[in-house]
Amino acid sequence: MAFSLYQEFYKLSHRKLTWIAPLVLLILMILTGLSIGYNESKLLMTTCYNAPDWIMLILVIVGSTTFSMEFQNNAILTLLYKAPNKILVYLSKYLVILGYNLWLHLLAILFTLGLRAIPMNQSMSWSALYRYQQPLWENMLKTSAIDVLTTTFIISLIFLLSCLINSNAIVISVSLLMVFMGQFISANLLNADRFTTVLRWNPFNMTNLTRQYYNYTTYFDTSHLLNQQLLQGTLSYTLLFIIVGYLIFRKKRF
């Protein structure tokens, strides 16, 4: 397992995309700060300048290419026969992307601390109370922690799709569509006001977890689930997608 993890980490750390992505994240955070920062300083600090959406975008691209690069470079056969079993290949890829996800969130927090210090927006005190009667710093840390769960759910979905589809471009397109359109698909399903008790558990609805946490009143009407229920749904779907993704990977013919 240790050697498989080392190999995955080695590949990830030698890809240009891995290092360009944080720069893109910073630029997008600055742009967000410049566009809505004047009115929404507290919201920006809570959400790390809308980092959840930007990190999701980055993870879709990096995560989608994790498997497709193996298929396209004919490396999957070597990877598979050199590993003691298939689950190690799958898990080590998953864990390394999970580590990258955590690293991106950590960077987003550090960037937020830096951006708050520069005179771009009206600077709010970290101890100022905001959502759930908690200080901003607590809101930010909790939002980031919850977003790690949302993005982990997205990674599981991307891995499942990557095992179904070999083409890099198609996996990225489908993943982006599901991640960013999923919320609208779910909202439309639930707007019909039929079978809401069942349909609110659809997987697309789980993409609302982070947004609902920092903006409960708006998003509860969309998701029809409590924060706690969304969290349970997200964790359950994450586990389900990991298992189904692995089963597809295991049966896949290379």
List residues near other proteins by CB under 8 A.
7, 10-11, 14-16, 69, 73-86, 250, 253-254
CB closer to other proteins, 4 vs 234: 4
Those residues with Cβ within 8 angstroms of residue 204's Cβ, 6 or more apart along the chain or in another chain: 178, 182, 183, 185, 186, 189
- The two structure tokens encoding residue 90: 């799958």
Which residue type, as a one-letter code, is found at position 72?
A: Q
Distance CA 153, CA 203 (A): 10
Q: How far is the CB of 3 from other proteins (least distance, A)?
A: 8
Q: Using a CB cutoff of 8 Å and minimum separation of 24, what contacts does 4-8 make?
A: 4/83, 4/88, 4/89, 4/91, 4/92, 5/92, 5/95, 5/96, 7/79, 7/92, 8/92, 8/93, 8/95, 8/96
For 135, the 3-state DSSP assignment is strand
CB closer to other proteins, 10 vs 132: 10
Q: How far is the CB of 66 from other proteins (least distance, A)?
A: 12
CB closer to other proteins, 75 vs 169: 75
Q: How far is the CB of 25 from other proteins (least distance, A)?
A: 20
CB closer to other proteins, 12 vs 244: 12
CB closer to other proteins, 16 vs 194: 16
CB closer to other proteins, 86 vs 142: 86
Q: How far is the CB of 71 from other proteins (least distance, A)?
A: 11
Quote the Cα angle for 160-65-169, to 5°: 90
Distance CA 31, CA 123 (A): 16
Q: How far is the CB of 45 from other proteins (least distance, A)?
A: 36
Dihedrals phi, psi of 76, to nearest 5 degrees: -65, -35
Q: How far is the CB of 172 from other proteins (least distance, A)?
A: 17
